[in-house]
Amino acid sequence: MSWLYPWALAALVLVPLLYLYLAYVKKPPTLVVPTVRPFRTGSGGRRRRRIGFAEWCFLAALTLLIAACARPRRGDEKIVLRARGIDMIFALDMSGSMNAIDLPEQVGTRQELAAALRSGELRSRFDTAVREIGRFVKLRPNDRIGLVGFAEFAYSFVPPTLDHDWLLTRLGTLKPGQIGDGTGIAAPIVSAASRLKNSDSPRRVLVLFTDGADNVAHRVTPEQAAEIAKECKVTIHTVGIGGDRAVMVADTPFGRQLHTYAGQFDEARLRRLAELSGGRCFRAGDAAGLREVMEQINRLETTSREQPKFIEYREYAPHLALGAAALLFAGFVAMHTWKLRLP
């Protein structure tokens, strides 16, 4: 229990003063006489009179009103966690090469490869990226996250949003080759920068996934696109997907055939793009490597948090004032009904 205005309790001194006035000073007349001198000499001095019910009500009401003015209250302290996320866009390579499958070291023979494919243990680069992006999104409930797919051109599938269910649903519908072939890296950077440039978030991030080198001629080069992103205060993290041991599965009239795939991403360029915007370049040789990369990005892009403290008070002044009003009403009724005194 605390008092908002404890100094108001000093007015409680009025209560005993009023009591003394009612008991020793105020004498309601029962008979009108010219002088009270004969009565005073015969009374033996000033005596306390008996205070009536109505007057006790007024004394109690005054006490409650003074206590109400002091604002008694009880507070419950609460700490509210506020998290402010960042705005982020994933740019995912949707070229045909993302169908390649990176082989882990434990898979050394064709029989082991066939068994791993049948069990679903091995996934294509694209499916692995989709799975890891989905895991990342679920860890970031406070971030607005968007999705851009690119091949020869870029296409914005989802603008930055907090509706992560919609984002994940849309992500699950994407397939390599859906928007053409080729690898144009400049277009998704410009698209993401234009989406994020008007963001009110203090942190704007583009994470670009690709397994190939830029092979599409656009008006701007990837480096120029990175400069545009920097002007829009967008940080670019690049993720090169793919290792030295990769295969491509092809369906032929003779069944599924496995072919060695030798394509590689341009690591030097991806690193340059990241450095131009203040980001980092990551290499993901296989599924395990991509998971580790996403964990690093999750740790790198932290969400700002603050813990303001609030105290919710329960006020007792209205209850005291209501009680005082009830006592005043009771005293008033008593004075004008059964406690009515006539001169």
Q: Convert the pLDDT of each residue in 169-209 to its tens digit.
A: 999 999 999 998 889 999 999 999 999 998 888 899 999 99
Count of domains for the chain: 2
When computed from its CA atoms, the radius of gyration of the chain, rounded to whole angstroms, is: 41
Q: Are residues 133 and 7 in the same domain?
A: no
Inside any domain, residue 340: no
Dihedral class, residue 60 (left if φ above 0, else alpha if ψ from -120 to 50, else beta): alpha
pLDDT, position 336: 63
In this structure, the answer to whether residues 144 and 164 fall within a common structural domain is yes
pLDDT at 113: 72
241 falls within a domain = yes
Report strand pairing: 101-102 vs 246-252: antiparallel
C-alpha 54/C-alpha 58 separation (Å) is 6
Q: Is residue 341 part of a domain?
A: no
103 and 148 part of one domain = yes
Domain annotation covers residue 199:
yes
List pLDDT tens digits, range 293-312. Answer: 999 999 888 766 554 555 66
**Do residue 94 and residue 200 come from a single domain?**
yes
pLDDT at 27: 57
User: Do the bridges between strand 281-284 and strand 304-306 make them parallel or antiparallel, or are there none, so unpaired?
Assistant: unpaired
Query: Does residue 245 belong to any structural domain of this protein?
Result: yes
Determine the structural domain holding residue 146 and report its residue range.
83-306
Exposure b/e, 116-150, CB count within 10 A at least 16 = b:
bbeeeebbbbbbbbbbbbeebbeebeebbbbbbbb
Q: Are residues 73 and 134 in the same domain?
A: no
More confident residue, 119 or 223: 223
User: Would you tell me the crossing angle of helices 186-196 and 222-231 to the nearest 10 degrees?
Assistant: 10
Q: Are residues 27 and 154 in the same domain?
A: no
Residue 211 has pLDDT above 80, yes or no: yes
CATH of residue 194: 3.40.50.410
Pairing of strands 144-150, 87-93: parallel
Residue 70 belongs to some domain of the structure: yes
Task: Judge whether residue 157 has pLDDT over 70.
Answer: yes
Residue 168 has pLDDT above 60, yes or no: yes
Q: Are residues 100 and 12 in the same domain?
A: no
Domain shared by 51 and 129, yes or no: no
**Paired tokens of 62:** 């005054």
Size of the chain, expressed as the number of residues it contains: 343
Whether residues 186 and 58 fall in one domain: no
pLDDT digits (tens, 9 = 90+) for 21-79: 666 666 555 554 555 555 555 454 555 556 677 777 777 878 888 888 877 877 665 65
Model confidence pLDDT, tens digit, residues 75-109 = 665 655 555 678 999 999 999 899 998 887 777 67
Q: Are residues 35 and 96 in the same domain?
A: no
Give domain status of residue 343, yes or no. Answer: no
On whether both 28 and 158 belong to a single domain, the answer is: no
Is 100 contained in some domain? yes
Query: Going by DSSP bridges, is the β-strand pair 154-161/204-210 parallel, antiparallel, or unpaired?
Result: unpaired
| pTM, full prediction | 0.64
* Cα 179 to Cα 120: distance, rounded to the nearest angstrom: 26
User: Are 237 and 94 found together in one domain?
Assistant: yes
* Alpha-helical runs (H) found in the chain: 14-20, 37-42, 53-69, 110-119, 125-138, 164-171, 186-196, 222-231, 267-277, 287-300, 317-335
